[in-house]
Structure 1
Amino acid sequence: MSRLALSKSRYCLGERCPKALYLQTHEPELAAPLSEGALRTMEEGTLVGAEARKYFPSGVLIEADFREPEQALLETQRALERGASVLFEAAFVYKGTFVRVDILEKNGHAWDLIEVKSSTQVKDEHVSDLAIQHFVLEGNAMRVQRTWLMHLNRECRYPRLQELFVKSDCTDRVKKRENSVGKNIEALTKMLGENMPPAVEIGPYCDSPRPCVFKAACWAHLPAHSVFELHGTWASTKFKLYERG
């Protein structure tokens, strides 16, 4: 895969901030090390994903890791040819965008796309994640019937682990983004081929939904004592003051 290729995580990063995606691609040395909290969240996500697979005992795991996209694509094709009805980490590529699907479950003559998250509710970022996967699957003639977010059940109590997850139907929310995904891919791919990063001002997205690893690089122009050090002030107010100069 080309280093300019998109993945679902890179697409979602570019949708949040194209400059962050550009820096990740061309100037990765500017990224701050991942915090302990971020690393812990990644570990939790891996554990939750493995637990979710237990709900689909007939599932076939595509074992090639993230460093072997071509092998993952080959394993996925073979599993489909053998008639697998549930796949874990299935790999697909379309228009230079590579995705791995947490769970792909046969539904009649179509498929259900299931994304697993360690959160307890559907967030907007999850819908973006599902939308790019839906786009790539449809581009591979894999008709998607429903799109689901399989997330933790806040009402679950030990030892009733059979109630650990709930599924939220995101089909309608994903369909509303169908027309924008292809355009976003084209725009992000073109942007990555430029010689300079896009001009993107700092904003609330630098910290939401989580702090960006390039924040220090993008905020380096601020003076030692800026409006962002004001205590007891809403972030939105700080940015309004910043924009006024």
Structure 2
Amino acid sequence: MTDKKLISKSSYLIYRQCPKYFWYYINDRKNIPEFDQRAKFNFKIGHIIGNLAKLQYREGVEASSEGSLEDNIEKTKALLESGKPVFEAGFMAEAGSKIKHAPVRIYARADILLPVDGGRQWDIIEVKSSAGVKAVNITDVAFQKYCYREAGLNIRNCFVMHINSNYILNGGIDPFGIFRMTEITEEAGKIIPHIKNDIRKMAEIMEKNEPPVTEVGKFCGSPFDCPLKTVCWENIRETSIFYLNSLNRKTAKRIVERGFRHMHEIPEDFPGINYKQKIQIDCAKNSECWVDKTAISNFISNIEYPLYFLDFETFSSPVPLIEGTRPYQAIPFQFSLHIAESPDSIPEHHAFLADGKGDPRPELSIALRKKFGFSSGDDGRAFKGSLVVYNESAERAILRDLAAFNSRNGGWIFKISSRIIDLYDPFKNFYFYSVSQKGSASIKKVLPALTDKNYSEMAIKNGDIAGINFLSGSMLWKNFITLNNLDNLNGRHNIEEDLQDQAEKEELLRFNLEQYCKLDTEGLYHILEKLKKLAI
């Protein structure tokens, strides 16, 4: 049961993002939608990164407890006397505010508390799986320091231990090389004076019977995707001002202060509205799509057949799993390729999906080279046609890494890269716009706006989830988990049934991955065909 008079570090960060979410977290947690697959995987990653960080302090002692918060706090007090680094040290203190005459308590738990000056002072080390320090990390540590100080602990300095993006895997994981330490004592100190007032406001929200009225906004997805977002945005219309492309805070404030909630309410001469936003407003007022036929026609004129519609799927991990790779390096494991030989031909589909047993790049490179019709060592000089992608920066980066991975691929990869046509451009530049896109040029919004195809019925709906599904089901990941003693075999009562169930899940996963990636390149073909008709 949730203690309605306790403010934890997690609840404080939630409050800073959204007071409404905070109210639900304290008073009605059962009605908060379940975290999505991406968030759940990130939780697992955080646990793994935390355990790796502890390897820097092998003399450290663990204060975490399977029991109550009180058990954790009592264990922490005992371990502080050891003068050793303490993991998951928990502290509770009274915050000064009250709810119905009862004092509000605050609680925080440190990833690592490091003793200094013979244990008379302590350094806070917050471990993060990101490749740098984020604003939310500073707020996180500031609350910890405030809580520990109120509990009587003498804190000297504050640090964030985060991933070293320049680290390259060479043999086993080096727990020292994979991390960087950044001091944030001064930055955290600037936030601490505001925490007491924040707690007072939080106490007021906690004792209310209803959640505070909170408008939607960019904060719904920053610093984290709020699980209430789907609920709060459910009835937001396509013409809402919140869907204006690249709307800055200053202009948004002026619009709201004038009482406008929908694009069609905004006057033509409203200051601060840019060209793309004006197109959106006109579409909302006229209930029709915007089409710049000349710009679309000029774009299409640069396309040369045969056409190669290409899309990659990649996975990345804060802990590199493949020798010679970096943290968060995008590793391609799948591609889909539709080839249209002429304007009248039906595109032929080709695909590759790695087995997940090792580095997927060698086999993927060979399969891609063959599908483009090149032989081993071919310099690609004879290649004709256009390589059609969506958001070329991502595909170029993958192709560039594949060329660097094996120099024999350099010639043909350079050639096909030189003939890229980015189908994202017409929508990024608003040659076409429909209100159903909600201000977005993502293929997930553009495809259903132009055609009768969409991703709503797909088991896998975006690239992040595709990468997570492949990675978590791969032997690369499973071997890493086993090697680091992170697996849990409790409850495996029937190994044969488990293996059969696992095989069925893997077969279904591969099918879902193939269908998702196929729709990406099939979608590119249908979008281009629709643009051709719009240009007439």
User: Is residue 183 of structure 1 aligned with residue 210 of structure 2?
Assistant: no
Residue 108 of structure 2 aligns to a residue in which SS?
strand
Give, in whole Å, the separation in 2 of the partners of 1:121 and 1:154. 8
Provide, for residues 186-223 of structure 1, a one-character-per-residue CA deviation record: whole Å limited to 9, x for no partner.
Answer: 21122101122122211110111222111122224423
Following superposition, the deviation at residue 241 of structure 1 comes to: 9.6
**TM-score of the superposed pair, with normalisation by structure 2:** 0.43
Alignment of 1:1-245 (within 5 A): 2-65=3-66, 68-81=68-81, 83-95=82-94, 96-108=105-117, 109-159=120-170, 161=174, 162-223=176-237, 225-227=238-240, 233-234=245-246, 236=248, 243=256, 244-245=260-261
Give, in whole Å, the separation in 1 of the partners of 2:243 and 2:185. 42
Residue 76 of structure 2 aligns to a residue in which SS?
helix
Specify every segment of 5 or more residues in structure 2 that has no aligned partner in the other structure, as ranges.
95-104, 262-536
**Residue identity opposite 1:177 in structure 2:** I
Contact 1:101/1:114 (CA < 8 Å) preserved in 2?
A: yes
Give, in whole Å, the separation in 2 of the partners of 1:42 and 1:7. 18
Following superposition, the deviation at residue 7 of structure 1 comes to: 0.8
Change (3 A) 1:88 1:142: same
Following superposition, the deviation at residue 25 of structure 1 comes to: 1.9
Contact 2:17/2:223 (CA < 8 Å) preserved in 1?
A: no
Following superposition, the deviation at residue 63 of structure 1 comes to: 2.9
Provide, for residues 89-131 of structure 1, a one-character-per-residue CA deviation record: whole Å limited to 9, x for no partner.
Answer: 0000112111110000011131101100000111000001000
Following superposition, the deviation at residue 80 of structure 1 comes to: 1.8
Following superposition, the deviation at residue 228 of structure 1 comes to: 6.8
**Residue identity opposite 1:140 in structure 2:** A
**Residue identity opposite 1:54 in structure 2:** L
**Residue identity opposite 1:226 in structure 2:** T
Change (3 A) 1:241 1:176: closer
Paired residues, number: 241
Contact 2:24/2:31 (CA < 8 Å) preserved in 1?
A: yes
**Residue identity opposite 2:83 in structure 1:** A
Give, in whole Å, the separation in 2 of the partners of 1:189 and 1:212. 21
Give, in whole Å, the separation in 1 of the partners of 2:51 and 2:201. 34
Following superposition, the deviation at residue 35 of structure 1 comes to: 1.2
Give, in whole Å, the separation in 2 of the partners of 1:183 and 1:107. 31
**Residue identity opposite 1:72 in structure 2:** N
Contact 2:164/2:178 (CA < 8 Å) preserved in 1?
A: yes
Residue 177 of structure 1 aligns to a residue in which SS?
helix
Contact 1:60/1:84 (CA < 8 Å) preserved in 2?
A: no
Q: Aligned residues: percent identity?
A: 24
Following superposition, the deviation at residue 50 of structure 1 comes to: 0.2
Residue 200 of structure 2 aligns to a residue in which SS?
helix
Give, in whole Å, the separation in 2 of the partners of 1:74 and 1:3. 22
What RMSD in Å do the two structures reach over aligned CA positions? Answer: 2.2
Residue 52 of structure 2 aligns to a residue in which SS?
helix
Residue 71 of structure 2 aligns to a residue in which SS?
helix
